[in-house]
Structure 1
């Protein structure tokens, strides 16, 4: 029982280390490597099993991973997010569990949304971006083929979303203490 309590106090710092590493790499390379996301996901299993027992720990690990994956997978499928971001949220879910990862995802979306709006304002691409979003939505409603980006219009850029995931994770971990 003592080992489980000690290990439980390790979950927060380990998760912080994972998301800060992902954020730093994402800022530098604009990608989050599989060795980090898959390594974090796999490392969470024995930790969860030690804390909660074999069955409950395995389920905590699995449900957290599945919920984390399911929350951001639609954004990846719509080409609005990179695969590394989805895998990172899933790995964080494996560490923190299904309930906490929902809160982390909500905080991440708020932080990422504010960041995106600021970037749109700075790059003066607000109207162009909303026009593209309207076009993509109309194509989706009409169930046509993939929307094609109009030629000649500059992109507002992309966001290294690993940073937003790290910020959302930190916000929820520190809000819970």
Structure 2
């Protein structure tokens, strides 16, 4: 079964690509995604959605996309596996693209970011530590208990390093938008 994904209307694709490239650039240089960039993107998305669909439908589409985008990466932030700026960036992308496309963006981003992190971790010689960390985080779920209840807290895990995930989010976003437009 295939799901047909329609490209967003014309002003959306170039605006989103410009915003994610700016976010990736600042994240790779400063290891931060500025709140002003996310706020500007959210505001622009609200105006464009309302202009394209009318105020009630546009505001609803904007909110639905932002909430889905926020919800997709929020658990990783809560487990300290992702920074807040990355979560807010995906919410902004969702406000522009809508719930379905932001889901595909999150999926593509996760694959790109996962492969990138595996490569970086392997280069650092810390693959074993990475797999121990992942097992520590998911083991309580297999046993039907929470991470906190079993004592396996995310802050007790030794980090294997990080990457500027805004770059992976930008790559996933550009991939999905160009694929949808093709």
Structure 1 length as normaliser, TM-score?
Answer: 0.88
Which of the residues 153, 158, 164 maps onto 2:168? Answer: 164
> What is the rounded CA distance, in whole Å, between the counterparts of 2:45 and 2:107 in structure 1?
22
1:112 has 2:113 as partner: yes
Which of the residues 122, 125, 144 maps onto 2:150? Answer: 144
Structure 1 residues 126-135 or 13-22, which shifts more?
126-135
> What is the rounded CA distance, in whole Å, between the counterparts of 2:50 and 2:136 in structure 1?
47
Q: RMSD value over aligned CA atoms? A: 1.7
In structure 1, the residue matched to 2:27 is 26
Structure 2 length as normaliser, TM-score?
Answer: 0.86
Number of residue pairs aligned between Structure 1 and Structure 2: 167
Structure 1: segments with no counterpart, 5+ residues: 1-6
Helix, strand or coil: the match of 2:150? coil
Note the alpha carbon deviations across 1:64-86, whole angstroms, 9 max, x for none. Answer: 00000000000000100000000
In structure 2, the residue matched to 1:82 is 83
Note the alpha carbon deviations across 1:22-63, whole angstroms, 9 max, x for none. Answer: 000000000101001122111111110010111111111000
Residue pair 1:119, 1:156 contacting (<8 A) in 2 also: no
> What is the rounded CA distance, in whole Å, between the counterparts of 1:92 and 1:137 in structure 2?
28
Shift in Å, 1:96: 0.7
Helix, strand or coil: the match of 1:176? helix
In structure 2, the residue matched to 1:94 is 95
Structure 1 residues 119-128 or 134-143, which shifts more?
134-143
In structure 2, the residue matched to 1:174 is 178
Shift in Å, 1:139: 5.7
In structure 2, the residue matched to 1:4 is none
Residue pair 1:61, 1:93 contacting (<8 A) in 2 also: yes
TM-aligned CA distance change 1:102 to 1:136, over 3 Å: closer
> What is the rounded CA distance, in whole Å, between the counterparts of 2:161 and 2:179 in structure 1?
31
Structure 2: segments with no counterpart, 5+ residues: 1-7
